[in-house]
Structure 1
Amino acid sequence: MSTIRSAAAKVLRFGAVRLFAVPVRRSTSLNLSTSSSSRRHRYIVHAASVGLALIAADYVYNEKRFFIAAKLGNVQELRKQVETGKDDGRNSGDGEGGPADRRHALGWTALMVAAANDQPATVKELLRLGAKPDLREQYAGASATAASTGMHPLEVLQRREDEFCNAMNSRASFLGWTALHYAALSDSSTSAKALLEAGADPTARDHAGRRALHYARDPSTTRDVILEHIQRWEETAAAAAAEERRRFPLEQRLKQYIVGQTAAIETVAAAVRRKENGWADEEHPLVFLFLGSSGIGKTELAKQLARYMHRDDPAAFIRLDMSEYQEKHEVAKLIGAPPGYVGHEEGGQLTRALARRADAVVLFDEVDKAHPDVLTVLLQLFDEGRLTDGKGKLIECKNAIFVMTSNLASDEIAQYGLRLRREAEALAAQRVRPAVAAPTAPAPLTDQTRKEYDENSEAFVPPEGEGEQEEALQVSRKFKDTVVRPILKRHFGRDEFLGRINEIVYFLPFSRQELLTLVQMELRAWAEKARARHSVELRWEGGVLGALADGYDVHYGARSIKHEVERRVVNQLALAAERGAVAGGCSVLLSARAGRLLLAVRTPPHREYVPLDLTA
């Protein structure tokens, strides 16, 4: 092979010399010089092509030797290949690791090959050379891999079988497998132990949601080794999670992302805390029903709960729009079609997702729109913490958290919440009236304050203490029993369904200060977009927040604020840009006068804002 490399190098050197040695002549004998030049160019192109082909063949040959060495346990060859890879700058090909993690063209690593072929000495050597134990397999089966690479399926099968034992089904998908999965399948306890001691995650799941333990023979030493490390891993993870919960309580986490809804956050956090610390019924999952107007934070709270519980794992948040389950036959879409029906092999949307992650946070959005037969399935799920899919497979999900949202009684809750707000504000006014004068409307900015504002590049921020959380408003037991529960019972038609709900959580309308915070957040988002997309700086005076907050519609929640900003601010910016009044590098100041929002523009090198008249 060294002879081939040498020959390839000589060919490329010869081609390069001839390429740069070709003279450029300005001759009138165009036919002769063109013919001679074209012949030389053809020779150079052919020589370069041969050289590149030989180098490519050399690379493929070395790659094959690397993985065959892993299969056969040739530690010496592996060391040589890894050292060569360091010199050549080769790595895994996807930025995940170094030369020991070099990936095969079809997706696997040498560590996976060694573990699959029960080569513990090779596994240890690769780990010593720097191989990462938790890299994921990218081989998706013969057909899928052939389609993505453009190879013939038989060629894919041949290359797979060259490096993996014949006992493995080369047509199946191994997406997401780690070396530990292969060690478990090959019943190599020594390899499994070496991987685990090197830091392999025994709880890692493949694309189908299965841990390595799922593939270990029962009983077997390999299974015992993996079980022991799973227990240690989970104990360590539980201790770390408990410490993190102590330092950063769930309420504190949720309030970073949810505006207002203090009582709802505290209710959810208390129930989750009971579950996390072992003070809940282990035989039943945790079930919430979120009630309130649209755009009030119900869905966002469910998302943030999943994020808190499962560290941003997308598979741990399952969202189902129940408006898609309004017909009787759509129960099959939820749990899978029975045998003999179309879609039986595919399974149901819910059962497939729970099979992958049985401890997920599941959101049933707008559950009041679902067919009664769908609610019957949910009743079994909430009552027993298990579900049987269309194939007859039982799925245990007692550790899941189920959240239902609904707009039932939203008008009643909104009106009750507004009344609570008024009562709380009146009570607060009585407390502070002796010491503090009645509040007045904010005065417009003077020339001096405007000048100070212009010199400050930051957007308006409420004064210190103005944005503090208000005391949580509590919904009375009388309102729940006499107003809300009859509406729920009339719709769902069964007490046993409502009885399986651990907590009914009420989302109340936003307070005035919460509305100002929402407007601030929306304006900041648009300011960032203006800066990133158009190089335009967007600023605003304090009165703009109040003017936009006046557009709040209790029935549409935060969405009404979003639409108000788009209608009254973004529309003006777009019109000004269309007319050429706003361009890159300028600064736009929003102000409020008599309920109207006005734009003023400052263009470098000027320091003063010039009002814009967009009415013409």
Structure 2
Amino acid sequence: MKNLINSFKSQFLEKQRRKEAEERRRFPLEARIKKHIVGQDGALTTVASAIRRKENGWYNEDRPLVLLFLGSSGVGKTEMAKQVANYLHKGNAKSFIRLDMSEYQGKHEVSKFIGSPPGYVGHEEGGQLTKKLRDFPNAVVLLDEIDKAHPEILTIMLQLFDEGRLTDGRGKTIECKDAIFIMTSNLANSEIANYASELRVEARQRLEAYNKELRNEEKIPISKKFKDEVVRPILKRHFQRDEFLGRINEIVYFLPFSRSELIKLADKEMEFWAKKAKEKHDIELKWDNTALDILCDGYDMYYGARSIKYQVEREVINVLAQSHENEEIHRGSIIDITGEDQTRILKIRLVEKGKRGELIFRDLPLGHKHPVHTKLANSFFR
């Protein structure tokens, strides 16, 4: 009877493995993450390759997979980690552990990380990492801003990354060889941004000289020379230990957005607000590419996608919130958002039907005389 049960179990596991493999072939990781992240093709390829090795058994099973994401704020590092966890564990909330390493800058914060030893206050609660890893040993762990962590934390990481196990404050060992650790850092973000900008200018000039399309301008390869001579010395100078960097499987570079990628981000943000406007107030938002291009003027390389989000709120949502408060727009209204290419000024207009059925465009006030705070603007859609 026992042999029969084991046989059925083996058949079920093999069938499940084949089903998952077929699903991965039909819907690869790159295609799934691409739905949620704009640009970053190079970073996506590197991450997907590492995950693919792990999924298909081509990796060292005695050590967890360790990745370091480098790039400025708002370029998709955290979102990439979230989507990897969602892909591997089918949306299980416990499968994604996120820790802000800026909270562990002091030596005394180590106890908060792995738990206090017996006899000390809070030893029964366990550490913020060890407690969550015990519940889900093969989780995707995001260590945000790892460069801000105290050196004692990095010492703990050496054992964790090398042996795939972690001993908590109570002396209990947690096995997590199947976990994925993703660290993020803003180190060398200026150098990476400047390097990518220079390469994009060169690519644009080269393509224009040959009258070719500019779509390939977005594909910026990071050369080995730049990695070895510019980025690695910065990492070594900060972490001051080669053994820590040597335990990282892949260093992944996230680049600033190109102009076409910024337009996609602006369009995505407008779609988000259009959906809210329709659901909350039955108001329809329409916009064109000129409006998107003007919104992209608010891009700040050091804030990434967040700067586009804030620009949309300032230039569009504030106007709608003020017009709604003044009863200039109402349920069923259609709002047309366009712009003038020469003046780089947005035009936000209410579209109404005249007596003979013709369309009448009426400019909404831009809110310069009575500015609306962003919180008030956001409350319009709550």
Query: Is TM > 0.5 for Structure 1 vs Structure 2?
Result: yes
Structure 1 residue 536 corresponds to structure 2 residue 288 = no
Alignment deviations for residues 448-490 of structure 1 (CA, whole Å, 9 cap, x no partner): xxxxxxxxxxxxxxxxxx9x78663211111111111111111
Instruction: Provide the residue aligned with 1:565 in structure 2.
Output: 312
Change in CA separation of 1:349 and 1:229 when aligned onto 2, cut-off 3 Å:
farther
Instruction: Provide the residue aligned with 1:310 in structure 2.
Output: 89
Structure 1 residue 349 corresponds to structure 2 residue 101 = no
Instruction: Provide the residue aligned with 2:168 in structure 1.
Output: 389
Structure 1 residue 276 corresponds to structure 2 residue 55 = yes
Question: How far is 1:234 from its partner?
Answer: 3.2
Instruction: Tell me the amino acid that sits aligned with residue 417 of structure 1.
Output: A
Instruction: Provide the residue aligned with 2:363 in structure 1.
Output: 611
The whole-number CA distance in structure 2 between the counterparts of 1:469 and 1:266 is 16
Contact 2:319 2:364 (C-alpha < 8 Å) held by counterparts: no
- Which of 286, 293, 297 aligns to 1:546? It is 293
The whole-number CA distance in structure 2 between the counterparts of 1:608 and 1:253 is 42
Instruction: Tell me the amino acid that sits aligned with residue 431 of structure 1.
Output: Y
Structure 1 residue 583 corresponds to structure 2 residue 330 = yes
The whole-number CA distance in structure 1 between the counterparts of 2:310 and 2:216 is 25
Structure 1 residue 600 corresponds to structure 2 residue 379 = no
The whole-number CA distance in structure 2 between the counterparts of 1:266 and 1:577 is 45
Q: Secondary structure at the match of 2:337?
A: strand
Structure 1 residue 479 corresponds to structure 2 residue 231 = no
Q: Structure 2 matches for 1:118-267, cutoff 5 A?
A: 231-267=10-46
Q: Which runs of 5+ in 1 are unaligned?
A: 1-192, 194-220, 437-465
Question: How far is 1:595 from its partner?
Answer: 1.0
Structure 1 residue 498 corresponds to structure 2 residue 250 = no
The whole-number CA distance in structure 2 between the counterparts of 1:576 and 1:473 is 43
Contact 2:200 2:218 (C-alpha < 8 Å) held by counterparts: no
The whole-number CA distance in structure 1 between the counterparts of 2:299 and 2:109 is 37
Q: Structure 2 matches for 1:504-543, cutoff 5 A?
A: 504-543=251-290
Question: How far is 1:431 from its partner?
Answer: 3.0
Question: How far is 1:537 from its partner?
Answer: 1.0
Instruction: Provide the residue aligned with 1:454 in structure 2.
Output: none
Instruction: Tell me the amino acid that sits aligned with residue 334 of structure 1.
Output: F
Contact 2:113 2:129 (C-alpha < 8 Å) held by counterparts: yes
- Which of 202, 207, 219 aligns to 1:423? It is 202
Q: Secondary structure at the match of 2:118?
A: coil
Question: How far is 1:307 from its partner?
Answer: 0.7
Structure 1 residue 374 corresponds to structure 2 residue 148 = no
- Give the number of the structure whose alpha-carbon radius of gyration is greater: 1
Instruction: Tell me the amino acid that sits aligned with residue 573 of structure 1.
Output: L
Instruction: Provide the residue aligned with 1:328 in structure 2.
Output: 107
Change in CA separation of 1:316 and 1:569 when aligned onto 2, cut-off 3 Å:
same
The whole-number CA distance in structure 2 between the counterparts of 1:352 and 1:233 is 32
Compare relative contact order (CA 8 Å, sep 6+) and give the higher one, 1 or 2.
2
Alignment deviations for residues 255-281 of structure 1 (CA, whole Å, 9 cap, x no partner): 111100000000011111111112111
The whole-number CA distance in structure 2 between the counterparts of 1:514 and 1:389 is 44
The whole-number CA distance in structure 2 between the counterparts of 1:226 and 1:387 is 35
- Which of 163, 182, 193 aligns to 1:403? It is 182
Contact 1:358 1:400 (C-alpha < 8 Å) held by counterparts: yes
Change in CA separation of 1:246 and 1:323 when aligned onto 2, cut-off 3 Å:
same
The whole-number CA distance in structure 1 between the counterparts of 2:38 and 2:193 is 16
The whole-number CA distance in structure 2 between the counterparts of 1:318 and 1:237 is 26
Question: How far is 1:391 from its partner?
Answer: 1.8
Q: Secondary structure at the match of 2:329?
A: coil
The whole-number CA distance in structure 2 between the counterparts of 1:226 and 1:340 is 47
Alignment deviations for residues 376-421 of structure 1 (CA, whole Å, 9 cap, x no partner): 1111100111111122111111111100000111111111111121
Which structure is higher in strand share? 2
Change in CA separation of 1:385 and 1:536 when aligned onto 2, cut-off 3 Å:
same
Instruction: Tell me the amino acid that sits aligned with residue 521 of structure 1.
Output: K
The whole-number CA distance in structure 2 between the counterparts of 1:227 and 1:380 is 36
Question: How far is 1:603 from its partner?
Answer: 3.6
Instruction: Tell me the amino acid that sits aligned with residue 21 of structure 2.
Output: A
Instruction: Tell me the amino acid that sits aligned with residue 363 of structure 2.
Output: P
Q: Secondary structure at the match of 1:290?
A: strand
Q: Secondary structure at the match of 2:123?
A: coil
Alignment deviations for residues 582-616 of structure 1 (CA, whole Å, 9 cap, x no partner): 11111111121211111111245763222234456
The whole-number CA distance in structure 2 between the counterparts of 1:268 and 1:422 is 26
Instruction: Provide the residue aligned with 1:13 in structure 2.
Output: none
Q: Secondary structure at the match of 1:609?
A: strand
The whole-number CA distance in structure 1 between the counterparts of 2:105 and 2:12 is 43
The whole-number CA distance in structure 2 between the counterparts of 1:380 and 1:423 is 44
Contact 1:320 1:365 (C-alpha < 8 Å) held by counterparts: yes
Q: Secondary structure at the match of 1:556?
A: coil
Q: Secondary structure at the match of 1:312?
A: coil
Alignment deviations for residues 34-87 of structure 1 (CA, whole Å, 9 cap, x no partner): xxxxxxxxxxxxxxxxxxxxxxxxxxxxxxxxxxxxxxxxxxxxxxxxxxxxxx
Alignment deviations for residues 5-43 of structure 1 (CA, whole Å, 9 cap, x no partner): xxxxxxxxxxxxxxxxxxxxxxxxxxxxxxxxxxxxxxx
Q: Secondary structure at the match of 2:210?
A: helix
The whole-number CA distance in structure 1 between the counterparts of 2:286 and 2:224 is 46
Instruction: Provide the residue aligned with 1:170 in structure 2.
Output: none
Question: How far is 1:228 from its partner?
Answer: 6.0
Question: How far is 1:542 from its partner?
Answer: 2.1
Alignment deviations for residues 338-363 of structure 1 (CA, whole Å, 9 cap, x no partner): 11111111111111111111111110
Question: What's the Cα RMSD here?
Answer: 2.0
Instruction: Tell me the amino acid that sits aligned with residue 287 of structure 1.
Output: V
Change in CA separation of 1:230 and 1:372 when aligned onto 2, cut-off 3 Å:
farther
Structure 1 residue 360 corresponds to structure 2 residue 139 = yes
Q: Secondary structure at the match of 1:485?
A: helix
Change in CA separation of 1:389 and 1:228 when aligned onto 2, cut-off 3 Å:
farther
Q: TM-score, normalised by structure 1?
A: 0.57
Contact 1:260 1:469 (C-alpha < 8 Å) held by counterparts: no
Q: Secondary structure at the match of 2:68?
A: strand
Question: How far is 1:567 from its partner?
Answer: 0.9
Instruction: Provide the residue aligned with 2:70 in structure 1.
Output: 291
What's the % identity of the aligned pairs?
56
Instruction: Tell me the amino acid that sits aligned with residue 91 of structure 2.
Output: D
Q: Secondary structure at the match of 2:143?
A: strand
Alignment deviations for residues 296-330 of structure 1 (CA, whole Å, 9 cap, x no partner): 00000000001111100111111111111111111
Instruction: Tell me the amino acid that sits aligned with residue 522 of structure 1.
Output: E
